[in-house]
């Protein structure tokens, strides 16, 4: 993982950071749509800011940020890692962009052949985010490691809290049910446009939110 971040010159700067810069950079898909939206905002997009309150401020945003999960496996590549200040607290935030794409494999599929490495990783993720292991197998693995990456970066940057935000540009809020099922693990009833938190063992609060993006960016 590179430690030096180059300032963006516009949405096109994000393309080279993708795992597949050709396949993933398509009009109407999440990577390009998210980049267009955040670049146009020059700060927090209004719908994301609304989750955190009237004084919410973007301190820094890093596209396609890779977070080590403290093992030899693949890093968690967060669409945007953002440091947000709100109510005089700093929040390490993992932003997952979505249009119509799924949240990837379910636990039952990802863990179908539980190698020692996968067993170690799943236990680490569950312990870190504070849920039982193994978790329900109908939940999406991506949401586990994306939440964990926010907590790990909160520890590393010594922020007050952490957050995992889905920034969706789907007019039908596609895959909201999958997100809602995941946050129910924490006793949270999910609603679009609302932020909900769960106190963690380390004293921080882990926040979850679903922000509905402006559809104008789907055509850019």
pLDDT in tens, 71-109: 988 999 999 999 999 999 999 999 999 999 999 999 999
Question: What is the spatial distance between Cα 220 and Cα 218, in angstroms, rounded to a whole number?
Answer: 6
Q: Is residue 6 part of a domain?
A: no
Quote the number of domains for the chain.
1
Nearest to 117 by CA among 70, 71, 69: 71
Nearest to 107 by CA among 99, 96, 94, 118: 118
Banded model confidence at residue 1, pLDDT cuts 50, 70, 90: low
Q: How many percent of the chain have pLDDT more than 90?
A: 93
Q: What is the pLDDT of residues 160-181, one digit of tens each?
A: 999 999 999 999 999 999 999 9
Q: Which domain holds residue 210?
A: 11-219
The mean pLDDT value of the chain amounts to 96
Q: Is residue 4 part of a domain?
A: no
What pTM was computed for the model? 0.96
Q: Is residue 1 part of a domain?
A: no
Question: What is the spatial distance between Cα 153 and Cα 42, in angstroms, rounded to a whole number?
Answer: 23
Phi, psi dihedrals of residue 53, rounded to the nearest 5° = 115, 170
Q: Is residue 42 part of a domain?
A: yes
Q: Is residue 108 part of a domain?
A: yes
Predicted local distance difference test score (pLDDT) of residue 72: 84
């Amino acid at each position: 993982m590179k430690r030096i971040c180059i300032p963006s010159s516009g949405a096109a700067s994000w393309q080279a950071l993708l795992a597949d810069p050709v396949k993933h950079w398509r009009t109407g898909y999440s990577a390009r749509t998210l980049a267009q939206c955040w670049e146009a905002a020059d700060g927090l997009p209004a719908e994301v800011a609304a989750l955190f309150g009237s004084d919410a401020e973007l301190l820094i945003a890093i596209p396609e940020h890779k977070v080590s999960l403290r093992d030899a496996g693949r890093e968690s590549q967060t669409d945007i890692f953002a440091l947000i200040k709100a109510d005089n607290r700093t929040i390490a935030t993992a932003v997952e962009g979505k249009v119509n794409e799924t949240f990837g494999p379910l636990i039952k599929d990802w863990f179908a052949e539980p190698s020692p490495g996968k067993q170690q990783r799943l236990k680490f993720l569950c312990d870190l985010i504070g849920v039982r292991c193994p978790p329900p197998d109908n939940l999406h693995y991506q949401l586990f490691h994306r939440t964990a990456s926010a907590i790990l970066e909160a520890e590393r940057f010594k922020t007050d809290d952490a957050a995992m935000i889905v920034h969706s540009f789907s007019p039908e809020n596609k895959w909201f049910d999958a997100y809602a099922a995941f946050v129910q693990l924490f006793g949270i009833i999910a609603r679009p446009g609302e932020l909900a938190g769960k106190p963690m063992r380390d004293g921080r609060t882990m926040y979850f939110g679903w922000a509905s993006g402006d559809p104008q960016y789907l055509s850019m």
